[in-house]
Chain A
Amino acid sequence: MKNCLGIINLSEVDSPFGLLSQNRPTSMLPFAGRYRVIDFMLSNMVNSGINTIGVFTGNKVRSVMDHLGSGSPWDLDRKINGLFLFTPTYDYTTINSKVGDIDLFFQNKSFVKNAKQENILMSKTYMLANIDLNAAYEDFIASGADISIVYKKVNDPMNRFIGCDKINFDARGEFESIGTNLGMEENFNLSLEMYFVKKAVYFDMLFDSIEKGNANYMKQAVLNSLSKYKIRTYEFDGYVACINNLRNYFDANMAILNPEISNELFFKHGQIFTKAKDEPSTHYQKNARIKNSFVANGCQIDGYVENSIIFRGVNIAKGCIVRNSILMQKTHVDQNVHLNYVILDKRTTVNQGVTLIGDPSLPYIGGKKAVISKEGKS
């Protein structure tokens, strides 16, 4: 995939994760003990042989910069090609709405223009999967299409994919349109928001939309050019977790406890890379009892842990009971704490004897660096 440029767009209007998204975009949500959501798409691209990746960082830049840095964990700290970060700029030159992302693509047009690659893969990060992008790319090239959209056939009785993009086919099975899923159909075609586009087509769509002022989003521009270009779809049939709200985020983490899912997500088409922390192994101490949990390195655990995701460097003291919870990096849980359906953000401290109980549909969230004490004592 040397001839394909990667663009990962992190800009978003709003991310519905409460305290968790106060200072970070969806793509930077910690996931599965040691990762961030963005690691999956970045690793997919790198594993498929894309060597030039531009990231539109969105407004919550600090967290993005801190995590991606020079791109070395993904082998993207290159002299030639590699990782390019594009922070928002405020010198708007077009009158187009600032609601969508089309202006972002326009502002960063020179990155694409100067790149040698003749094809582009545009993607978001919240559709979390381990996908062989090379297969999708080869299908796109072989077909001679101008645009190819990756989708997955889903069965969604629980309405987990409400608000996601939906691909509609006409009676002949040809691509017809992209809409928003309202949950009217149980079986539908979920767009993974991964678009392969030829470079010339990309610029034609982009400039046309800016001139006509008829698209806020790049995907609208794609739809507008339906009559002009050949659009095809590529079906992905692997596991996808959709990180678009708190409930789905919580469940996607818990799904990792299923070895089949974790094996697919972490190994199927290559490893997932993330920033290394150089933590030692995890020490389960004398009173530790662990059941069905996913635990990262650097933890010191002396309590009872069940059905939980424990991130790097977490301390769980004697007498604690932690169940159905997500404890992020460097949280500290003091003696005799009881947690059930709780998400603790990074560096949170829970003092002795505290009991926190959430609900599966609405987990209790302890904000970053919070200190939680019994009856307000601290």
Chain B
Amino acid sequence: MKEGKMIAMLLAGGQGSRLKLLTKEVAKPAVPFGGKYRIIDFPLSNCSNSNIFDVGILTQYKPYHLNSHIGIGSAWDLDRRSGGVRILPPHTDEQGGRWYKGTANAIYENISFIDELDPQYVLILSGDHIYKMDYSSMLDFHKAKKADITISVIEVPWEETSRFGILNTDADQFITEFEEKPKHAKSNLASMGIYIFDWKSLRSYLIADEKNPNSENDFGKNIIPQMKHDGKRTYAYKFEGYWKDVGTVKSYWEANMDLLSEDNALDLYDASWKIYTKNKHLPPQYIGSEASVVNSMVNEGCNVEGSIENSILFNEILIKKGAKVFNSVILSGVTISEDCEIHNAVIMEDVTVKPGTVIGKPDSEFVYLVSKNKIIESE
């Protein structure tokens, strides 16, 4: 075992079906976010910024875009002489081939990969969340508490506790109880799906869990409760900052809009914790003589001749003269033609909106997901 070494295993196989058309072609971690990123850029950049240079990425659902996005990991400085990023799809062995059945099973199937790297700690991450976090501080906490497992938690509004896995802790942040989506929560500390395990102990639990035919092979439902039951040292590491699980189209839209608010806690402009992504080598954006751009984020290669307000524009977008865009997220390659009026929309890649089209209305409670051939209203 390499003393003190921690590797990350990033679960990126999920579909995220509530995101509807956004995940029709790509896995949830590959969904575009924040004007130029994909969701997985956040955990990957966090790894790189936390000096974790061994990252295994577990893929399963529609991995093509994800694979080409990650490449050899050079965008995150994860193309290392030894270690670096490794994509781990389901594979076959002497017993035949199997899909990943659950989060824990995905790690179980790659025990030999982890054994080869021979770490002391394994960090389990999800490719679905948007946040900036220094995992090395979490590891320091894990070591200081001599924990077997540390779970990262965040305070959520009390009225939302019923949506999360809630952890009850004592004053020492020792976890006393788990409650999955409780009706009447005793605490508002929600699990962020980020765990640090001692590899040796996790390894034995994974093997035992695999032998249990009734298990769902899930960290939250099986592995962690079992470890707790066996009296292992389980601690909660409190994270403060922006954290968002974009589950639905509406929350996806909201998370994008969060970036435009003045007191936005996810400060993308902070040079000490940059978020990296694959570079597209596009020229800067051009804002035309008659354009109006207010409280919006615009990426490279855009050409804005119309007016945009409270919107996020990805790359290579054309907003033609007379077009008006409000409170919308526009993905790359979109053309908004002359005299369109667009409110509260998420417009998918490469859509051309015809001249004079009106989508959505002001102050609507809906978010309109626009693809090439249909518009879905989403609450």
Which residues of A are interface residues toward B (Cβ below 8 A)?
A: 32-34, 72-73, 257, 259, 262, 266, 271-274, 276, 278, 280-286, 288-298, 300, 310
Which residues of A sit under 8 angstroms from B290, Cβ to Cβ?
A: 291
- With A292-B287, A296-B284: A282-B297 Cβ-Cβ less than 8 Å: yes
| Shortest distance between the CB of A269 and any CB in chain B (Å) | 14
Annotate B272-311 by CB proximity to A: 1 below 8 A, 0 otherwise.
Answer: 0011110101111111111111111111100100000000
Q: With an 8 A cutoff between CB atoms, is B36 at the interface?
A: yes
Interface residues of B in 302-344 (CB under 8 A from A): 303, 312-313
Q: How large is the interface on B (under 10, 10 to 19, 20 to 34, 35 or more residues)?
A: 35 or more
Across the interface, do A278 and B274 meet the contact criterion of CB distance under 8 Å?
Answer: yes
Which secondary structure characterizes the binding site on chain A? loop
| Docked complex Cα distance between A34 and B289 (Å) | 21
Q: Which of B260, B291, B299 contacts A297 (CB 8 A)?
A: B299
Across the interface, do A280 and B276 meet the contact criterion of CB distance under 8 Å?
Answer: no
| Docked complex Cα distance between A61 and B290 (Å) | 43
> A-B pairs with the 8 shortest C-beta distances?
A281-B35, A33-B284, A280-B268, A296-B284, A281-B297, A276-B279, A266-B283, A281-B299
| Shortest distance between the CB of A314 and any CB in chain B (Å) | 11
Identity of the chain A residue whose Cβ is nearest the Cβ of B289 in the assembled complex: A292
Which residues of A sit under 8 angstroms from B289, Cβ to Cβ?
A: 291-292
- With A280-B35, A281-B297, A286-B295: A33-B283 Cβ-Cβ less than 8 Å: yes
Identity of the chain A residue whose Cβ is nearest the Cβ of B37 in the assembled complex: A280
| Docked complex Cα distance between A271 and B282 (Å) | 8
| Shortest distance between the CB of A333 and any CB in chain B (Å) | 16
Which secondary structure characterizes the binding site on chain B? loop
Across the interface, do B284 and A298 meet the contact criterion of CB distance under 8 Å?
Answer: no
| Shortest distance between the CB of A258 and any CB in chain B (Å) | 10
Across the interface, do B303 and A259 meet the contact criterion of CB distance under 8 Å?
Answer: yes
Across the interface, do A288 and B294 meet the contact criterion of CB distance under 8 Å?
Answer: yes
- With A273-B281, A286-B295, A289-B292: A281-B287 Cβ-Cβ less than 8 Å: no
| Docked complex Cα distance between A31 and B293 (Å) | 24
Q: With an 8 A cutoff between CB atoms, is B34 at the interface?
A: yes
Q: Which of B274, B286, B297 contacts A262 (CB 8 A)?
A: B286
Across the interface, do A290 and B284 meet the contact criterion of CB distance under 8 Å?
Answer: no
Across the interface, do A292 and B288 meet the contact criterion of CB distance under 8 Å?
Answer: yes
| Shortest distance between the CB of A373 and any CB in chain B (Å) | 24
Across the interface, do B287 and A295 meet the contact criterion of CB distance under 8 Å?
Answer: yes
Which residues of B sit under 8 angstroms from A33, Cβ to Cβ?
A: 283-284
Across the interface, do A32 and B287 meet the contact criterion of CB distance under 8 Å?
Answer: no
Across the interface, do B293 and A272 meet the contact criterion of CB distance under 8 Å?
Answer: no
| Shortest distance between the CB of A262 and any CB in chain B (Å) | 7
Could you write out 14 A-B pairs with CB less than 8 Å apart?
A33-B284, A34-B284, A272-B281, A276-B279, A278-B274, A281-B36, A281-B298, A281-B312, A282-B297, A283-B259, A289-B292, A293-B286, A295-B298, A297-B299
Across the interface, do A257 and B286 meet the contact criterion of CB distance under 8 Å?
Answer: yes
Identity of the chain B residue whose Cβ is nearest the Cβ of A290 in the assembled complex: B287
| Shortest distance between the CB of B154 and any CB in chain A (Å) | 23
Most buried by B among A33, A271, A293: A293
| Shortest distance between the CB of B325 and any CB in chain A (Å) | 13
